[in-house]
Structure 1
Amino acid sequence: MNSLLAIWRFRGLARAITERELRTRYTGSSLGPLWLVLQPLAMVLVYTLVFSQLMRARLPGIDSSFAYSVYLLTGVISWNLFLEIIQKSKNLFVEHGNLIKKVSFPRLVLYVPVVAVAGFNFLIMTILFLIFTLLVGMFPGKLILAAIPSLVLLTLMAVAMGVLLSSLQVFFRDIGQVIDILLQLLFWATPIVYPSSILPAAILRAIQWNPLVPLFSSLQTIFLEHRLPDFSTLWYPAAVTVVFGLLATYAYRRLYGAILDEL
């Protein structure tokens, strides 16, 4: 609670960093903020054209030429949210070393812009994706609200992992490289590009230990089958999120005093 109150007191700093991140991303470009829409729009169009028209990929049990595109975009957009938070968080203290040394403020404030920018990018992608589902007749309607628990858990898990990694990265700089490799493995261990129904039973049982699987399965159920997911499957990713949160809290509090000296 004290940390949350401290973040609220320094909300001006968080807002300033967030605005700087968004502005500097396209500073000097001719189209400026339009790239915020053009880049995700290009991704949606490419995935739709390649997989639904050129490759004519199909999902078993779903009679729609756009089903695989919806399946893929559901996973990729959510994965990008998860990935961006972790990637931006892991080097947070190192990148803001000068600010941390010069200004006294709660270090947790730095995570607010990370989540805000990632959430903003996710929102743009989601809006374009929902427009696409409307055009192809696969919009889930009010069921879209059922995606909130999975997305909240996905964000919290990424934040917890990001806080833990950023605290350790200050002292062990190789962690960033190791995490990049592990994230690639995690991506392919999650049914995003492929449906889980095509996997052999042994591999299917193995990937059930991946805490992201229930989250992505819930989202895919909503957008492809247009029905409520089984929320009882979310207890496992919720438990993993709590564990990462406790580890992150312990590492942050234990290493807080040494971080400044190491930077």
Structure 2
Amino acid sequence: MSVLRTGLRRTPLLIMAPLWRHRDLIRELVIRDLAQRYRGSLLGWLWAALNPLLMLAVYTFVFGYVFQARWGGGGEPAKFAVYLFAGLILHGLLAECLTRGPRLILDAPNLVKRVVFPLEVFPWVVLGSAIFTAVTSFAVLLVGAALILGQVPWTVILAPLVMLPLCLLALAVGWFLAALGVFLRDIGQVVPLLSTILLFMSPIFFPIEALPEAFRPLVYANPLSLIVVELRAVTLEGRLPNWGSLAIYGVVAAMLAWGALLWFRRVRGHFADFI
């Protein structure tokens, strides 16, 4: 068993260890996190579906019928809202992990002093909550695509594979910022700005083809860009994704998550001294 653990530590498979070893704890913490989000509201968990539904309705009305915005200069005005909403789902997933990351350890001082509590599960919990929100919004997106575009292509079944690399990156961000936030409190003031930059520097509000060739590499440097383009391809356009680019993205994201988890575990012993 010790040989197996040592082998896992030397490979990116280590990032899956907390999920498997503490799966029951993570599930309970995700449920608690989501319950706290809707606690006290009259409609409770119904807001999980109502929020994205209302957002899509507002985007459709504002961009489709008020501004008459057209995606890529053509198509029905309401098409813009569907394409915009698809991108916002992905940004919301990454932004939740990004903005909550610096406070994950700081908001649990009592658990930090418990040697037996696995602090590395916190980024998994945030990711689980973000995935729940994204999946709920994605279901609303499919309804909107069926009503506005008239169809949902079979390639939509590939959407989880397209989103997987982004989830790995979100884990990397979670572990890195959770540890960094303990030692550098100012990082919590910076990440909201970074989240906004990621939003407007990705092809969420515009098709990548609308940019001059010289600016496209800059936009593709945004970790959201490739996933946004490929999710729209499989969900709204019925095209297969660029498997090569997704594979490279996934490998890099897994390596980053592995390194972030190793660093998190290395500095964990100093958390109690700074809280």
- Please indicate, yes or no, whether the TM-score normalized by the shorter chain is above 0.5: yes
CA distance in 2, matches of 1:121, 1:214: 21
Corresponding residue number in structure 1 for 2:203: 191
CA distance in 1, matches of 2:55, 2:206: 18
Aligned-residue sequence identity (percent) comes to: 33
Unaligned runs of 5+ in 2: 1-7
Corresponding residue number in structure 1 for 2:123: 111
CA distance in 1, matches of 2:259, 2:192: 20
Corresponding residue number in structure 2 for 1:134: 146
CA distance in 2, matches of 1:205, 1:25: 38
Contact 2:120 2:261 in 1 (8 A): no
Shift in CA distance, 18/235, structure 1 to aligned 2, threshold 3 Å: closer
Unaligned runs of 5+ in 1: none
**Secondary structure at the counterpart of residue 95 of structure 1:** coil
Count, aligned residues = 263
The alpha carbon displacement at 1:239 in A equals: 4.4
CA distance in 2, matches of 1:259, 1:43: 39
Corresponding residue number in structure 1 for 2:49: 37
Kindly provide the CA deviation profile for residues 131-157 of structure 1, in whole angstroms up to 9, marking residues without a partner as x. Answer: 111122343332002222220011111
Deviation above 4 Å: which 4+ runs of structure 1? 1-7
TM-score (norm 1): 0.90
Amino acid at match of 2:94: F
Contact 2:202 2:224 in 1 (8 A): yes
Contact 2:106 2:182 in 1 (8 A): yes
Q: What RMSD in Å do the two structures reach over aligned CA positions? A: 2.2
Aligned residue among 225, 229, 232 for 1:217: 229
Contact 1:212 1:237 in 2 (8 A): no
The alpha carbon displacement at 1:229 in A equals: 2.3
Corresponding residue number in structure 2 for 1:56: 68
Corresponding residue number in structure 2 for 1:11: 23
Corresponding residue number in structure 1 for 2:259: 247
Contact 1:48 1:66 in 2 (8 A): yes
Contact 1:70 1:223 in 2 (8 A): no
Amino acid at match of 1:252: F
Corresponding residue number in structure 1 for 2:214: 202
CA distance in 2, matches of 1:31, 1:179: 31
Contact 1:58 1:65 in 2 (8 A): yes
Shift in CA distance, 15/141, structure 1 to aligned 2, threshold 3 Å: same
Task: Find out whether 1:71 has 2:88 as its counterpart.
Answer: no
**Secondary structure at the counterpart of residue 82 of structure 1:** helix
Aligned ranges 1:149-164 → 2 under 5 Å: 149-164=161-176
Contact 2:91 2:224 in 1 (8 A): no
TM-score (norm 2): 0.86
Contact 1:52 1:68 in 2 (8 A): yes
CA distance in 2, matches of 1:152, 1:78: 11
CA distance in 1, matches of 2:127, 2:60: 28
The alpha carbon displacement at 1:43 in A equals: 0.3
CA distance in 2, matches of 1:169, 1:241: 21
Shift in CA distance, 5/224, structure 1 to aligned 2, threshold 3 Å: closer
Corresponding residue number in structure 1 for 2:3: none
